[in-house]
Structure 1
Amino acid sequence: MMSPVKLTKKQARQFILLKQGLLGDYKFIGEKGVCKYIKQAGCIQFDPIDVCGKNAELVLQSRVEGFSKEMLDKLLYSDRKLMDYFDKNMSILSLDDWKYFSRQRATHCENGRSKDKVNAVSEEIKSIIKERGFASSKDINLKEQVDWTWSPTTLSRAALETMYFRGELIIYHKKGTIKHYALSTDHIADEILNASDPNFTEEEHLQWRVLRRIGAVGILWNKPSDAWLGINGLKAANRKSIFHKLVEEGRIVEIVIEGIPDSLYCLSEDINLIDIVLSNPVFPRRTEFIAPLDNMLWDRKLVKKIFDFEYKWEIYTPTAERKYGYYVLPVLCGDSFIGRIEIVNDRKLKQLIVKNFWFENSVTNHFQFNEEIYSCIKRFSNFNNCESIKLEYKKDKVTL
């Protein structure tokens, strides 16, 4: 068991950002970089809302040099190196991780709303998909209303989603928000589809999930957090036991951060990054717009402690109660969050509209960042396939 590592807050920020590929030169490049980052992170959270890019796309554009939206679509639905599945809520993860979710698939086979009605039509649906190649709920004419997660839905939708959760179907592709499903056996190699779960016990599985989430964020503590969402069976008591065991086995390392009384932890394999940070290097400054559900932001209280940055995604906040805006992205510059930006992609006009920009109160000399922010806006415009940029922001007469 390794002795606790002591870091200043600045060193902790640098470690997290190095791990995330958000500090200094890009370490994730092109399609290989997308797969490498997702493998490291375990998963990136998917959200269908697209104001200036979907959440998963925004996560990748800030880290992967040369990333395009078409690249992610290709890796998901042509190359099949990635897959859509539930991890931390709906997520994108490596197809290589299929074997680790056999428990989740088995649970959906044994349980689930309207199970008997779904079972009664599943073979019929498989036959339709086998004939067509793929199908959406609109292609399956089963309009009976059945009990479902949020509210009653059609048997078509309930059956397709249940069979997807069970692993019988995969998402073949998406058109807008409509999912088209195909048979897993037609698109996933047998050695992946039928691979045994590497975790023999529930305890081993939960340990794997905890390690996965620590690696996704970089540093985590043993506290309630959105970082643990989607891990069924992970209660406070067994989470404490798992942390204790992982420390004893040397699989995670305790970190003590100056000014933070609680112990934090990183993966033991990341000690090399801590060594880099402790050598006090000078990192080239880089400016990036960060996704609202970015892995690094999964524990908002931790972000507040280490980065002194308080972020709330206000998309579900009533308009009158919003402090900033509907879809606002944090702005990272070097090892600090310097502000937040509200951007809209006007697809009809092929124009990127910068509606607003707010500097943090700690940033006194706004003009020193203008060139870097505008350079980032131009890259973001290209990422959204826009042909022009419109700056609506004129507050405090800051020219971007």
Structure 2
Amino acid sequence: MAALTLTKQQARKFLMYYHGLSRDAAYIGKEGILSFIRQVGCIQFDPLNVVGMNHELVLQSRIQHFDRNELRELLYEDRKLIDYWDKCMSIFPVEDWPLFAKHRARYQGWCDQNEAAVGRVHAEVKLRGVLCSSDVDEEEIVDWAWGPAKLSRAALEGMYHAGHLVIQHKVKTRKYYDLAERWIPPELYGIPDPFEDMGDFYAWYVLRRIGSIGLLWNRPSDAWIGISGLKSAERNRAFAQLLERNLIREVQVEGISHPLYIRTLDLDRLDQAMAFEPQEKRACILAPLDNLLWDRVLIHQLFDFEYRWEVYKPVAERKYGYYVLPVVYGDEIVARFEPVKQRGKSPLTVHKLWWEEHARVDSSMKKSLRECFARFAAFHGTTFDRKSLKL
């Protein structure tokens, strides 16, 4: 089948439409949260909180009047979403639980090797109910994924990754665990692995990641982070399988030498995006680990925007600042800014804003950015210090 051909501007327009960034009311309320996460597969969780945690920032840019409490309800009351491993720690629909059987199997080996400790922790959770790591008395220090850790923490996390436990709720970033069988619906818990082999699993996962971004290429990429064992050979086979099954289409973008790919099921959205003409261009703020930014090399080529999250860089090596967020306007990324850490109901304040060289700043753009920052302040339940933006 012949490849589709797009200009860079058309590719950008599709991505903005696909992610709901060019439309004011693309996603609304709890159903909007569910709809968006189902579309992209997952959103990435990160505990760092300067002006909200990453998953909150992803949703505030897309969900009209986003309310953190609605996300909490979907996770811990309605149980329609779940905290689990995908693109690192992530949030995804609970119906996807069976699809991660191969990830759980990797951690079952650790549980088997530490059978005595796992058995004790399992008995504690079964008897006492919801527990966090400080509620479990296993003081031995063991090697764990993040370095030396108490056996109690390692056992809880190992059992969680192996699917014996789930996060029943969180208090800020502290995880409270309970038995998975108590919270995963019976029609999903314990059913057989739906993938016959790793090839089928990788093909599904590659398709999922294409959908997480909207357009993606078959190249080394941060978009593949979290897919254990996916090397270039496995990735190539997955793309070939997806093309053969007509689950993806090749897209040639003018000015980009490598082909991109779109899910076949998203072709209608591509047509909708090409026909969409907003009355006014919309501005919005992106999260540092936003799905749109998962492949930053691709974003650089499509948007002429080079972005690195510099929170873990030494101060002397930072080009911009500690916690800097991109700003979208229409189908372009036009600026980035460093916010002052949000404290309570104090006004939202911008420390510094940098315009991109390609940005054509006019009165309409400035107006849209002021409205964008007002929405961002409202998300925090406060007002925006307009003087700090200097528009």
Shorter-chain TM-score: what band? Answer: over 0.9
Deviations 1:203-255 (A, max 9, x none): 11110000000000000111000001111221112211221221222110010
Q: Secondary structure at the match of 2:144?
A: coil
Partner of 1:273: 269
Query: What letter matches 1:22 in structure 2?
Result: L
Post-superposition shift, 1:132? Answer: 2.9
Partner of 2:238: 242
Partner of 2:328: 332
Q: Secondary structure at the match of 2:187?
A: helix
Partner of 1:11: 10
Structure 2: 5+ residue stretches without partners? none
Provide the C-alpha distance between the structure 2 equivalents of 1:269 and 1:127, rounded to a whole number of angstroms: 45
Q: 2:348 aligns with which of 349, 352, 370?
A: 352
Q: Secondary structure at the match of 1:254?
A: strand
Q: Secondary structure at the match of 2:319?
A: coil
- Spell out the pairing of 1:200-215 with structure 2 (5 A cutoff): 200-215=196-211
Partner of 1:75: 74
Provide the C-alpha distance between the structure 2 equivalents of 1:343 and 1:188, rounded to a whole number of angstroms: 39
8 Å Cα contact 2:327-2:333 kept in structure 1:
yes
Residues 355 and 255 (structure 1 numbering): CA distance in 2 closer, same or farther, change over 3 Å? same
Deviations 1:169-209 (A, max 9, x none): 11111112211111111112211112333222211111000
Query: What letter matches 2:163 in structure 1?
Result: G
Post-superposition shift, 1:68? Answer: 1.2
Partner of 1:290: 286
Partner of 2:90: 91
Number of residue pairs matched? Answer: 391
Provide the C-alpha distance between the structure 2 equivalents of 1:337 and 1:199, rounded to a whole number of angstroms: 39
Query: What letter matches 2:109 in structure 1?
Result: E
In angstroms, what is the RMSD of aligned CA positions?
1.8
Post-superposition shift, 1:280? Answer: 7.0
8 Å Cα contact 1:106-1:166 kept in structure 2:
yes
Provide the C-alpha distance between the structure 2 equivalents of 1:22 and 1:153, rounded to a whole number of angstroms: 41
Post-superposition shift, 1:277? Answer: 4.1
Provide the C-alpha distance between the structure 2 equivalents of 1:384 and 1:345, rounded to a whole number of angstroms: 12
Partner of 2:38: 39
8 Å Cα contact 2:325-2:336 kept in structure 1:
yes
Q: Is residue 219 of structure 2 the alignment partner of residue 223 of structure 1?
A: yes
Q: Is residue 229 of structure 2 the alignment partner of residue 233 of structure 1?
A: yes
Percent of aligned pairs with the same amino acid = 43
Post-superposition shift, 1:265? Answer: 0.6
Which deviates further from its counterpart, 155-164 or 316-325? 316-325
Q: Runs (4+) of structure 1 moved beyond 6 Å?
A: none
Post-superposition shift, 1:77? Answer: 1.1
Provide the C-alpha distance between the structure 2 equivalents of 1:225 and 1:70, rounded to a whole number of angstroms: 33
Q: Secondary structure at the match of 2:255?
A: coil
Residues 238 and 283 (structure 1 numbering): CA distance in 2 closer, same or farther, change over 3 Å? farther
Post-superposition shift, 1:143? Answer: 1.1
Which deviates further from its counterpart, 176-185 or 295-304? 176-185
Structure 1: 5+ residue stretches without partners? none
Q: 1:342 aligns with which of 331, 334, 338?
A: 338
Q: Is residue 253 of structure 2 the alignment partner of residue 257 of structure 1?
A: yes
Provide the C-alpha distance between the structure 1 equivalents of 2:274 and 2:379, rounded to a whole number of angstroms: 35
- Spell out the pairing of 1:158-177 with structure 2 (5 A cutoff): 158-177=154-173
Q: Secondary structure at the match of 2:48?
A: coil
8 Å Cα contact 2:8-2:254 kept in structure 1:
yes
Provide the C-alpha distance between the structure 2 equivalents of 1:351 and 1:192, rounded to a whole number of angstroms: 45
Q: 1:390 aligns with which of 381, 385, 388?
A: 385
Post-superposition shift, 1:364? Answer: 4.2
Provide the C-alpha distance between the structure 2 equivalents of 1:181 and 1:190, rounded to a whole number of angstroms: 18
8 Å Cα contact 2:95-2:188 kept in structure 1:
yes
Partner of 2:305: 309
Which deviates further from its counterpart, 293-302 or 59-68? 59-68
- Spell out the pairing of 1:14-29 with structure 2 (5 A cutoff): 14-29=13-28
Provide the C-alpha distance between the structure 1 equivalents of 2:102 and 2:276, rounded to a whole number of angstroms: 44
Provide the C-alpha distance between the structure 2 equivalents of 1:179 and 1:190, rounded to a whole number of angstroms: 23
Deviations 1:262-303 (A, max 9, x none): 111100111112223444745641111000100110000100
Residues 81 and 243 (structure 1 numbering): CA distance in 2 closer, same or farther, change over 3 Å? same
Provide the C-alpha distance between the structure 1 equivalents of 2:128 and 2:369, rounded to a whole number of angstroms: 48
Provide the C-alpha distance between the structure 1 equivalents of 2:271 and 2:174, rounded to a whole number of angstroms: 47
8 Å Cα contact 2:345-2:381 kept in structure 1:
no
Partner of 1:64: 63
8 Å Cα contact 2:370-2:386 kept in structure 1:
no
8 Å Cα contact 2:349-2:385 kept in structure 1:
yes
